[in-house]
Amino acid sequence: DGSGDVIVDDNSGGYTYSPTNGDALAVVRGMLNYSYSNYKIKPRNDDDIVPVTGSGLLISKDAPALVAPGELFTYTLTVENQTGQLLSPPTVSDTLPLSATYAGSNPAGAWNAASHTITWTAATSLSHGSALSYTVVVTAPTAMTTLVNDDYTAQASNWPTAATGSAVNTLVYDCNSIYNIQHVDNPGSDDASLCMGETVTVEGTVYATYAYKGFFIADAAGPWHGIYVYYPSDTQPEVGDAVSVAGTVKEHYGLTELGNYATYTVLSSGNTPYAPSVVTAAQIPYDNVATSEQYEGVFVETHDITVTAAIDSHGIWDFSDVGGGTGKVDDWGYHAEPAVDDTYAILRGALAYDYSAYKVMPRDANDLVTERQISIEKTAAASVDAGELLTYTLTVFNNTGSTLTGLTITDTVPTAHATFAHASDGGVLAGDTISWTAASLPSGNSLSVRFAVTATGTDGDEIWNNTYAAWAANWLTPTAGSPLLTTIGDYIPIYSIQGSGFTSPYDDQQVRTVGVVVGFFEGNYPSGGGDFDGFYIQDSTGDTITTTSDAIFVNHGTAAVSVAVGDLVTVTGTVGEFSEYDGTACSGDTCLTQIAVSGASDVEVGPTATLPTATELDPPGGDVAVAATYWESLEGMLVTIPNTATVVGPTSYNTIMVVRGDLGVERVLRTGPHAGMPVAVRHYKRNGKLDDGSYPDNLIVGSTVENVDGPLVYSYGSYLVATQFGAPWTTVVSKPAPTTVPTWPAAPAEQFSAATFNTYNYNGGATKLTKVVSTVVGLGAPTFLSLEEISVADVITDVITALNARGYPYAYAYSHPDVGGHGVAVLWRTDRVTDVTWSTEYQGCSADGSSSSTYDPLWATCQASGEYPLFSRRPVVVTGTVTYAGNATRVIVIGNHFKSKRGGNPSADQRRLEQGQFVAGLVDGFVTTVPNVLVLGDLNDFEDSPPLEALYASGNLTNTWYTLPEEARYSYIYQGTSQILDHILASPAMLTWLDSMSPMHYNADFPYYPYSSNDSVVWRTSDHDPVVATFALPHYIYLPLVFRNSS
């Protein structure tokens, strides 16, 4: 406005106005927010942005969008001369809403109570381009209503045409109740709270708590009466507490919550929470805002559900019921691992909106009640010609454990693109529902019935059969089946095969489809029974639906199939989900949807066609789940990154990870705004070789490349742009390695240091030995050092000997190696540490333990209870006396290497959590006698993950990473994302001595070649960066205490 610059943020889609440089705005209003180092105005909707329009004498008005009943608020009128001439003193009038009470004006105007109008006459003329401002203070009515102020004018004697302004609406609304905060009239069009941005105080009863996340409260049963309170602490109120909560109403990625560090006061305890709202899955579908929003934050209960999608790596699974809706369950409070078709009699919990889906959050095992069931499934052809019969077969299975009597099966005939033809097996049509009955069905047996429809649509139309169920006289709860899709025509469009989810609705079915060849891909290794070789085809026009991919991979394996880019081909094969990790055993979002063909006869080559236009990659950032959905929607399609891309993950197997160059970033942090945006780039030929058989450049993080064009592949856990023949990706700038190697200062006599270093499968070799020793020296030859992934039997003595030769005397303790021959070793400087004892006796048993640890001495004990050893690599506990400047103190160091994070397996996640809890228990015991404890190692999880939170839980450990700014926190790069896996945790006593800590970035940013085989440089000795910390031990100075006479 001439006095300074302001940033306006779209508030995650709060408004749609798209300004251009130079636009004049009469009014911008919204919540002032501080994020990403800037203050920003966040308008709530388009009404909060008022452009300057037209010419002449102009008048506009501003007022709060929301006020509380009885609250004083101000209308501001602005009169602007855009006539091109000098105006005589204008007269301004404003007729106030009748229910508003006039309280004053500035400058003082003439108030007419009878007409409810305030009038001003300016004292001087108004020159062109100048403006006048008037304010009116009113008191809002005590009843909730909308105040409409639309009768205000301005005119001058030499400009007699009165200027009028747009209506200004102010909502008088009480935001101090849960219902009013949550309720919206039309959630399908706008589900944001009317109270967003308001600081409120509400009361309710706690019905669910979730450690480190928050809790839910309700002020009554039923829709709109529950809300989430963001309170990320391990200390939560108790279920049944009546609380008063003060906080700011926020929409956190669509979840209405009380946030901004809400506070609560317990009013009373031991109350009975309000009863859950009994709903069907159709009332709380995960993807329907219009239906589910009323239950957001509400305690819900649904009956007789069937699991329709197995648990994924994030602990989420899907369910449905007889109503046909689909809901989701997440493990905020309780982690269950159901399989598809598992059933539960009752599911209850808080309904939260999280990662773009409504999900039920069970609080504990009591919120999932299992019951035996009957089940029903339906089969039909995947495609049918127009005018032909389509036969459905329904099969009911009796798994109840008893004979069913009076069995009834019903199916609603599809009417879109189909008409009823006939029913078999005694089926009777009434209206649009077919019914079958059977006197009995013994347990363990099944019964099949059939009916047929005639396909009446045209090629490409879809016939959905959604509603069918079975029940019995002695089993009254109906069991419903999943929807079934059949496409009309000789082929099924690619986008129908892909579907809108991570897996195809045609999985394991034979299909016939048509597409244009847009590129090739050769997998690195045989997996899942055959080479991962084939080509990508894309529908020529697509379906214009952004959630479904228009392309698919055709896997011909070792068979010879000859096609060229641009060929229009017809493919017949079997749909499957496949990955190079697990072959066809993959699941969920870890798979590539493909069509497997057996040979050239399954691929009919037609004429050459025009290639589809490449889609410009512009992924969302900050939410990896949302980003994953984005990448899935483009799977196989021809994509491009215009201009340049920046390398955020170094060359690995001739593959780089990049982001768009115009983002202006060289690093993507796991917790930052660009998380989820990196994509891999590799040439299509096996092992990423170029067309002439050579290899591409090996690049360091921060390099830039161009020509990133090709089909979007899913390979080895990453989405990947596969550049094609004649157009490989090329290097623009290859960032050089640093000319000076960073080093950590050696600890002087009054200090000591500790470090952790995953040596990456260190089995031996002169080059590796030199590089490992150089790394240790670069760390300042720390007083204590935890080495992980080291073959103790083969190389640890070589390391000790080499370090001693360099003038750094060390001794070591070690754990049993795992099945790969690698264990954990803790080293200590014998010139600084004395009276050392060490132990690897600490081990536990777990149902999620290591089934390969048959070598562990506790194996038989664990097996006796049906469990396994918790650690495949036991912790190494070293206790020693550290000498410093003539003094000494006892220190305990625990070296660790927790279970691998690869693949996100829930069992592995659980094992890491239990490992964290186990080590935390050790520390809790140790600090009672030796307060100085350090936990070192590759813990294979993030600083804010459940295993690390378990280590922090008692307050006896703090992560030293938190002393660094966020941009400095990484020791590992996975799929282009910089993150922390290697940790140094300190007890409270040790934390007071902490002087400094840092990762030493020797490895993560660098490619394997050419550095790993070069013993003249320290770079890429491992894939992990070592982490080091220095502790300044205390000095004690004794001073005399002098007493003086008060006089």
* φ, ψ at 1013 (rounded to 5°): -100, 10
Cα gap 675→207, rounded to integer Å: 33
What does the DSSP assignment read for 866-878?
T-EES-SS--EEE
Give exposure, 886-911, as e/b (b: 16+ Cβ within 10 Å).
eeebebbbbbbbbbebeeeebebbbb
Alpha-carbon distances, residue 1014 vs 317, 638, 767, 1008, 1018 (angstroms)? 48, 39, 7, 10, 8
Confidence of residue 372 (pLDDT cuts 50, 70, 90): low
| pLDDT of 1034 strictly over 70 | no
Compute how many other C-beta atoms are within 10 angstroms of the C-beta atom of residue 347.
23
Query: Which of 171, 166, 183, 180 has its CA nearest to residue 146?
Result: 171
CATH number assigned to the domain with residue range 54-172, chosen from the 4 options 3.50.50.60, 2.30.30.60, 2.60.40.740, 1.20.210.10: 2.60.40.740
Residues 911/731, Cβ–Cβ less than 8 Å? no
Cα gap 57→162, rounded to integer Å: 8
| pLDDT of 807 strictly over 90 | yes
Q: Tokens representing 47?
A: 């009404």
Average pLDDT, the chain: 91
DSSP, collapsed to helix, strand or coil, labels residue 588 as helix
Task: Please identify, in words, the CATH class of the domain defined by 491-608.
Answer: mainly beta
Strands of the sheet containing 887-897, edge to edge, are 833-839, 876-884, 887-897, 933-938, 982-986, 958-959
What does the H/E/C string look like for 406-457? EEEEEEECCCCCEEEEEECCCCEEECCEEEEEEEEECCCCEEEEEEEEEECC
Query: Which of 740, 741, 750 has its CA nearest to residue 1030?
Result: 750
What does the DSSP assignment read for 833-859?
EEEEEEE-----EETTS-TT-TTSTTH
| pLDDT of 324 strictly over 80 | yes
* Fold agreement (178-370, 491-608): yes
Residues in the chain: 1047
Domain spans of the chain, in order of start: 1-44, 54-172, 178-370, 373-436+461-487, 491-608, 615-733, 751-1032
pLDDT value, residue 445: 64
Structure confidence by residue, pLDDT tens digits, 159-207: 888 999 999 999 999 999 999 999 999 998 888 899 998 999 999 999 9
Q: Which of 274-278, 642-646, 971-975 has the lowest mean pLDDT?
A: 274-278
Query: Residue with structure tokens 């922090």?
Result: 952
| pLDDT of 689 strictly over 60 | yes
| pLDDT of 1045 strictly over 80 | no
Compute how many other C-beta atoms are within 10 angstroms of the C-beta atom of residue 520.
20
Cα gap 1043→1047, rounded to integer Å: 12
pLDDT value, residue 531: 67
pLDDT value, residue 529: 41
pLDDT value, residue 903: 54
Structure confidence by residue, pLDDT tens digits, 513-544: 999 999 999 987 654 445 688 999 999 988 88
Question: Is the pLDDT higher at 984 or at 31?
Answer: 984
CATH number assigned to the domain with residue range 178-370, chosen from the 4 options 3.40.50.300, 3.30.70.1350, 2.40.50.140, 3.30.930.10: 2.40.50.140
Question: Is the pLDDT higher at 219 or at 375?
Answer: 219
pLDDT value, residue 140: 95
DSSP, collapsed to helix, strand or coil, labels residue 802 as helix
pTM over 0.85: no
pLDDT value, residue 585: 65
CA atoms within 13 A on the CB side of 638: 20
Name the percent of the chain lying above pLDDT 90: 69
Residues 15, 21, 26, 32, Cα dihedral to 10°: 50
Structure confidence by residue, pLDDT tens digits, 693-713: 999 999 999 999 999 999 999
pLDDT value, residue 444: 54
Asked: is 751-1032 a CATH 3.40.1260.10 domain? The reply is: no
Residues 702, 708, 714, 715, Cα dihedral to 10°: -60
Q: Tokens representing 598?
A: 């057996």
Question: Is the pLDDT higher at 316 or at 543?
Answer: 316
